[in-house]
Structure 1
Amino acid sequence: MDERRKQLIIQEIKYWQKNKLLPDHYCLFLLHLYSGDGNRLVKNKRRSGIVLSILAFVWMIAISYFVINFTRFSIPMQIIVFSIILFSLYISSYYFRTEKPLLTNLLAGLASIFLIGGGILLLNQWGKGQDWLLFFLVISCFVWLLSGVIYRISYLFFCGLIGLALIYGWAIYSEVSTITLLVFQLYWLPFALIFILLSLWLGSRFSMSGSIFLTGLFLLFGPEIESLYLSHIDVGVIQFWLFSKIFVLALMLIFTRKRWLPFIPL
């Protein structure tokens, strides 16, 4: 291939990368291929494989040591070891975000699970109460939201939103023990409408719009889900509200499908 044609192809690939027409790792691979850096690409892959193997071994050793010897550590040592493992997972996930997106998803998911599991383990070990647990769960959900945006992982962002919704339901549980389901709707429907309208307004401009839209749909059924745990609300009333919402929602989704389908990860 002549040099002029090669340069035109390289410029086109850079245009694809700049305008997000192809994933970054595909563009990098094509750039390496057409710029004559094939040997360097192979070396980089081998180097990444070695680094990955070393990191995987270190993670296994560190997590196993943390779990086995957890109760023997002092409180400062528990915090230090927990933080080192957690940040190493997040940093490694960020390091592989362009070359190995599947690995990035795996590491970010593992870090998020370790954050919740390890944090709850620490709180139980220290004898903290429900208020501390709620506060920690809220912080963890915001970490998931931030991770989803940074790593462009929609399921992490969605889990963060759903986690906050579940915490909200838990927080208001004692406040709704005597009210009717009709009044109960006021605790959930305004938030559901805000999320749905916000996702439609953001559209394809924000990569997490689909997660916001799906969270809004989940919030629509928040009253019915939580009512299942309230003994004073009749099951027949719950079923009436549930099927009515499903019917109306199905009609709305059908007639507005051109508006929301483009940014929903189906």
Structure 2
Amino acid sequence: MNLGKRDIILKEIQYWRNSRLLPEQYCDFLTNLYDDETKAKDSNPLSLHNIGQGSIKLWLFGFGIISLIFLISLYFSVFPWPLQIATALSVLIVCYGFAAVYRDRQTVLSLILAGAGSVLTLGFGLWMIALHDLNPDFWRPLLIAGCGLLWCVLGFVLRIGLLQYSGFAFWALLYAGFAGAFRPEASIFELELLWLPLCIVMVWLSWLLHHRVSGVSGVYFAVGVSLWMMPEIDALLLRQDYPQWISLMLITKIAAGLALLFMYRKKWITWVAS
């Protein structure tokens, strides 16, 4: 129960007490019941209430975590590469592991840990590529592919839509990079053929899975909507000498996409909400 509802109930109990609508012992029982519920929720060691109480164990734990982060940051570059990999994996396992543990009990904390793990995954990868002078043309696409796969899997398992969407976004980035390398002079018609079939597939999967698998249809639908605009974005950001009317075409497609969303709103909202 959130604090607003609890305060309303406690005020109502106090009104019953003052109006003699319930015996005194009943009012005491109900008041203690809701106060005990609040205390039980405050048993989370990372709650603001417990931090404000000044628990020495909690503050020492925070000091240890912050010190460990700074030590890893300062000495990571001098570790041998097996220790670097082991350190990175340990940090990621801790972040994602606690995100899974707190997924149902502390949603915000779980999202923060999953986000931190995702940023660290990419950061450690780029750091190790730079430290060991690895070929970026090979290792960066491999890192992007690995991050995309990891985030898609963990986003699905933990039911974190934003994480899963980020995984698909990285795969789209990789797809755009390869397409740009093989066909840098591709016309806008070719770009439409590169991206729009993927848009249709993702929207179709959103419809297909909304009754079968919970928590994924909204992500797939969001990916499909994003892919709808990717041909023009690809031309504007990744291609050279694009015609000036591409910007107008992008605006037109956004308007057409919004019109389609409005026309079929009762159907896709059902998919997203499932």
TM-score (norm 1): 0.77
Query: Comparing 116-125 with 43-52, which one deviates more in the overlay?
Result: 43-52
Q: CA deviation at 1:133?
A: 1.5
Task: Output one character per residue of 1:48-93: Cα deviation in whole Å (capped at 9) or x when no partner.
Answer: 9689766644442222111111221111111111111111111121
Amino acid at match of 2:123: G
- What displacement does 1:44 show? 4.8
What count of residue pairs does the alignment treat as equivalent? Answer: 230
1:89–1:111 CA contact under 8 A, matched in 2: yes
Cα–Cα, structure 1 residues 241 and 81, in superposed 2: closer, same or farther, change >3 Å? same
Task: Tell me which residue corresponds to 2:119.
Answer: 113
Structure 2 CA distance for aligned equivalents of residues 142 and 56 of structure 1: 32
Deviation at 1:155, TM superposition (A): 0.7
Name 2:189's counterpart in structure 1. 182
- Sort the Cα spacing of 1:57 and 1:42 in 2 relative to 1 into closer, same or farther, 3 A: same
2:142 is aligned to 135
Asked whether the 8 Å contact 1:178–1:232 carries over to 2, the reply is no
Find out whether 1:212 has 2:220 as its counterpart.
Answer: yes
Distance in 1, Cα, partners of 2:46 & 2:123: 32
* Pair 1:128–1:255, CA change in 2 (3 A): same
Q: Which residue of 2 aligns with 1:123?
A: 129
The structure 1 residue matched to 2:177, chosen from 170, 174, 186, is: 170
| Bigger radius of gyration among the two | 2
Q: 1:53 to 1:173 in 2, by over 3 A?
A: farther
Q: 1:47 to 1:249 in 2, by over 3 A?
A: closer
In structure 2, the residue matched to 1:30 is none
Q: CA RMSD in A?
A: 2.7
CA distance in 2 between partners of 1:57 and 1:212 (Å): 41
- What is the distance in 1 between the residues matched to 2:153 and 2:62? 24
The percent identity for this pair of structures is 24
In structure 2, distance between residues paired with 1:131 and 1:194: 29
> Structure 1's 97 and 179: CA in aligned 2 closer, same or farther, altered over 3 A?
closer
**1:224 and 2:236 are equivalent in the alignment:** no
Shift of 1:124: 1.4
TM-score w.r.t. length of structure 2: 0.75
8 Å CA contact 2:45–2:58 kept in 1: the answer is: no
Question: Would the alpha carbon gap of residues 47 and 114 (structure 1) be closer, same or farther in structure 2, given more than 3 Å must change?
Answer: closer
- TM-superposed CA distance for 1:264, in Å, is 3.6
Between stretches 41-50 and 83-92, larger displacement belongs to 41-50
- Give the match's secondary structure for 1:69: helix
Counterpart Cα distance in 2 of 1:40 and 1:179 = 63
Equivalent residue number for residue 207 of structure 2: 200
Structure 1: give runs of 5+ residues left out of the alignment.
Answer: 1-32
Residues 89 and 108 in structure 1, CA contact (< 8 A), matched pair in contact too: yes
Give the alignment partner of residue 249 of structure 2, picking from 226, 236, 241: 241
